[in-house]
């Protein structure tokens, strides 16, 4: 249904914008996978919280509005991500709500697969 569609834009470090969309209830990882968004190495652990390759940087206002705060496991994994910011989250842990329609998230320039460490 149209009303379930949530539009998401991924912004690469070079400024390039990749428009995409998912459905309410999808994770941001699902959006990347289902749309074949071309982000090299993104989502390597398929959402099992063991890689940090799904690190995304939110605008502060969007970050504050996220319905769920990061859990301990997510925070531990974020510690291993490069270019960590105060508004960083793991995309596989963010579930889309209708409120998030039009969301723009920054993709860090470097993706760190913590499993390789
Ligand atoms: Fe690996 Fe999110 S996909 S931690």
Ligand 1 within 6 A of CB of 51: yes
Residue nearest to atom 4 of ligand 1 (CA): 49
Q: For residue range 79-92, what is the model confidence (pLDDT) as tens digits?
A: 999 999 999 999 99
Q: Mean of the per-residue pLDDT values for the chain?
A: 94
Ligand 1 within 6 A of CB of 78: no
- Cα of 43 to ligand 1 centre, how many Å? 5
> Is residue 117 over pLDDT 60?
no
> Is residue 96 over pLDDT 90?
yes
Q: Give the E-state strand segments of the chain in sequence order.
A: 5-11, 17-23, 55-58, 88-90, 103-106
Ligand 1 within 6 A of CB of 80: no
What global pTM score does this model have?
0.93
Q: With cut-offs at 50, 70 and 90, classify the pLDDT of residue 114.
A: confident
d(CA 32, CA 83): 20
- Cα of 105 to ligand 1 centre, how many Å? 16
Give the atom of ligand 1 at the shortest distance from the alpha carbon of 47. Answer: 3
Q: For residue range 26-66, what is the model confidence (pLDDT) as tens digits?
A: 999 999 999 999 998 999 999 999 999 999 999 999 999 99
Ligand 1 within 6 A of CB of 29: yes
- Cα of 19 to ligand 1 centre, how many Å? 21
């Amino acid at each position: 249904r149209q009303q379930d569609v949530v539009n998401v834009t991924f912004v690469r470090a070079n400024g390039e914008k990749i428009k995409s969309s998912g459905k309410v209830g999808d994770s941001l990882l699902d959006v990347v996978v289902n749309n074949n968004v071309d982000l090299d190495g993104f989502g390597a652990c398929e959402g099992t919280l063991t890689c940090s390759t799904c690190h995304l940087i939110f605008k502060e206002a969007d970050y504050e509005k996220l319905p769920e705060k990061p859990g301990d496991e997510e925070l531990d994994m974020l510690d291993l991500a490069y270019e960590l910011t105060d508004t960083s989250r793991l995309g596989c842990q963010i579930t889309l709500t209708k409120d998030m329609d039009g969301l723009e998230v920054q993709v860090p320039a470097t993706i760190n697969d913590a499993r390789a460490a």
